[in-house]
Amino acid sequence: MVRAFEWFLRYVDVIVALLLAMAVVGLDVIGVASDKVVQNATVATLAVVAIVLLRDRQRSDESVDETHRRLDRIERGALVREVSGAECTRALTEARRQTARWYFKGATGTYVRAVTLPECVASARPFRRPLRFHLEILDPRDEDLCDRYVRFHKALPAGDGSEDSWSVKATRQELYATILAACWYGQRYEFLDIDVCLSTTYSLLRYEESDTCLIITQRGPNFPATIIERGSSTYDCLVSELYASRKQARVLALHKSKDTPLGEEPTPDEIRALFRVLDLALPDDYSEKDVKEVRALALSQTNPYG
């Protein structure tokens, strides 16, 4: 019944035109109506037919245009494409421009901390534009996880050579630095809604989701990266996967960081207090020098691929 009603609504104008035509023919055959009435009815029928034809032509043109647009995007490889090197860097830069959100899933979040977060905040601040940031990184408290992550990457074919200097301590410092940077920027831009999740598993891939696309990278721009435009079924599938991953990770209570103000150049005591409030106290064996290294990584880190 519902389907029949939907069919009627879809073709109501055609049905009206048909009924008018039948009425005109019937009146003319039985001689009930005058010639003037028949002529007026005929003109009305033709008008309805013209409206039906115009609507059908419009629908047809819209369908063709949409098909051409989609084919054009596919031909240009815009839905899913592989890039590397400078093209990967340009894709990340373009994705950051004017985006209102950024979701990251990876290991230490070094590039996001050094480039993506500062640039997105700098772009949003002049317009007081709300910015949603989500970071999913490894849990720095899990030394075994960090050790497995380091050993895994050292066993891979050579990348840019930086893996040789990786250590568990350096990896944990990178993670603490990413959390510190999230809190520091969160205190300085009121419209930044940022949170950090700690994962218990590591991956070779890094996922970066913006308003326009999802970019999957691995071990720097010299390795192939995949760009998946928003609107594709692959994009929707992977975004759902990232959501499921976030639901399984531990969410840090970053809102508590508001209770421990951080200076423009936070002191070691301020940094230690921050991590205690987050229930993520720095290791007891961290010296003042170690804490200052975390601060430098958080706020003075240059582009690791620059």
Domain holding 151: CATH number? 3.30.870.10
What's the pLDDT tens digit per position in 89-120?
Answer: 898 999 998 899 999 999 999 999 999 999 99
Over residues 267-280, mean pLDDT: 96
Residues 13 and 115 in one domain: no
Is a pLDDT exceeding 50 seen at residue 37? Answer: yes
Is a pLDDT exceeding 80 seen at residue 13? Answer: no
The model's pTM is 0.73
**Number of domains forming the structure of the chain:** 2
Residues 46 and 89 in one domain: no
Over residues 139-160, mean pLDDT: 86
Give pLDDT, residue 258.
Answer: 87
Give pLDDT, residue 266.
Answer: 96
Q: Say if 17 falls within a structural domain.
A: yes
Residues 152 and 249 in one domain: yes
**Domain span at 255:** 80-299
Measuring CA to CA, which residue among 136, 265, 134 is closest to residue 192? 134
The backbone torsions φ and ψ at residue 7, rounded to the nearest 5 degrees and listed phi first, read: -60, -40
Domain boundary among 43, 71, 99: 71
Q: Compute the mean pLDDT over every residue in the chain, rounded to the nearest whole number.
A: 84
What's the pLDDT tens digit per position in 172-181?
Answer: 999 999 999 9
Residues 57 and 130 in one domain: no
Q: Say if 304 falls within a structural domain.
A: no
CA–CA gap between residue 97 and residue 116 (Å, rounded): 10
How far is CA 185 from each of CA 109, 140, 176, 209, rounded to the nearest angstrom? 15, 20, 14, 20
Q: Say if 306 falls within a structural domain.
A: no
Q: Quick one: pLDDT band at residue 301, thresholds 50, 70, 90?
A: confident
DSSP tag of 129: -
Residue predicted with more confidence, 79 or 192 = 192
Residues 208 and 257 in one domain: yes
Residues 113 and 164 in one domain: yes
Judge whether 197 and 249 are in contact, CB under 8 Å.
yes
Residues 92 and 66 in one domain: no
